[in-house]
Amino acid sequence: MQANDITTERLRHLAGIRARSGKVVSLFVNLDPREFATPPARATEVRSIVDRAWRQARDDESLTGSERAALRADLDRVRSELANGSTAIGAHGLAVFVSGSAGLFELLRLSQPVDHPPVIADTPFIEPLSAIGAPERWCVLLANRRIARLFCGDGNALEEVALVEDDVRGRHDQGGWSQANYQRSIDKDAADHLKHAAEVAFARLKRRLPAGILIGAPGELAGALEGHLHPYLRERLAGRIDIDVEHSSPEDIRKAAAPAIDAAARAAQDEALDALAGDFAHDRAASGLGAVLDAMHQQRVRALLVDDGFSAPGVVCPACGWMGAGDAGACPADGTATQARDDIVDAAIRRALSQAAAVHVLRDRPELASHGHVAALLRY
């Protein structure tokens, strides 16, 4: 099963961490099985990343001796924690955030590798995780006339969470009883089975409703199954898949569901971009880095849109948190001398998450280019 430990809650937790003394190390380990298929190859990659981070710390003249010693201890801990390889099971990449001074050691398994050098800073560097995104929970409900199966998971893996088997009689001639009555009895059994399947699905999902649900059933049953779904599930219907109900493996089902799940993710991006176009026309959107950062300071951002890989230098006020593009020497809010940041976009993403704003990191979408690769939908 391909792992993805990213959740919105964990991203917001990381976004709120700041090392008051010492530094935070952010490490990204590529464990793509096409390149690192064996445990020795993965162990070598881990050592390489840790060694690279230490060389970076050793050569950074801005670090004090005590900061450098603390970083050495943090990196030794990373090396020890990852030594046996068990933490990487099911992952195509790892993100590790560590700071002894901040009491931080956070390891996340990723569904895809991140190609980024180690980052040593006052805060965790979470921009690559925002690009991957927190996995949404999807479910697939399969049913024929006697069996129903419910699968749930993210787009990378689905597991069976419920099985429903009902005693539904087959279709054949029944002597001694009206054939029409017997057929009606069979049809009622099948309808009761579909209703039972829908009830089990809602019982399993009502405490944590999925982002979307897909139906797999023979053509004459699919509509009836959808009709029995609880309204909360019916409003999350995202389509149907054509698949063998009884004998398909979880991987078969994942492959069949993938196009619909990918289409839903694309639709969410389309919706955000359409909203940007409409809101911008009515002055309810911010366009360009400077305007977005200003809106962020006013806590007006409800959704941040940024092109994957976009970065830009900027400054942060250590007193009030004001962020600006370029190299402003003093904070316009309180006059405090600002601190330079090589990448203010990561700081903006962290601030958006801490303010409970949605974050859309867009790939292969040219629409943001005219906005300087970053824009925001505003609360008011």
CATH 3.30.960.10 in the chain is located at 8-132
Encode pLDDT of 117-141 as tens digits: 999 999 999 988 887 876 788 999 9
Q: Using CA atoms, how far apart are residues 268 and 59, in angstroms rounded to an integer? A: 44
Averaged pLDDT, 192-214: 94
For 99-110, what is the mean pLDDT?
93
Q: Which CATH number among 3.30.1330.30, 3.20.20.150, 1.10.600.10, 3.60.20.10 corresponds to the domain 283-378?
A: 3.30.1330.30
For the chain, what is the mean pLDDT? 89
Using left for φ > 0, alpha for ψ between -120 and 50, and beta otherwise, residue 97 falls in beta
Give 300-322 pLDDT, tens digit per residue: 999 999 999 899 999 999 888 89
> What share of the chain has pLDDT > 70, as a percent?
94
Q: Which tops the pLDDT comparison, 149 or 90?
A: 149
| CATH 3.30.420.60 at 138-266, yes or no | yes
Of 181, 134, 123, 169, residue with least CA distance to 5: 134
Residue 27: the pLDDT is 97
Dihedral sign computed on CA atoms, order 9, 14, 20, 22: positive
**From-to residues of CATH 3.30.420.60 in the chain:** 138-266
Could you tell me how many residues make up the chain? 380
pLDDT of residue 173: 47
Strands annotated E in 3-113: 24-30, 93-99, 104-110
How far CA 351 is from CA of 60, 215, 348, in Å, comes to 27, 38, 5
150 pLDDT higher than 60: yes
Q: Per-residue pLDDT for 185 more than 60?
A: no
Predicted local confidence at residue 182, as pLDDT: 43
pLDDT value at residue 168: 64
Reported as a pLDDT band with limits 50, 70 and 90, residue 294 is very high
Residue 6 phi/psi, 5° resolution? -70, 130
CATH superfamily, domain at 8-132: eRF1 domain 1 (3.30.960.10)
> pLDDT at residue 28 above 70?
yes
DSSP string spanning 33-61? TTT--SHHHHHHHHHHHHHHHHHHHHH-T
Confidence of residue 1 (pLDDT cuts 50, 70, 90): very low
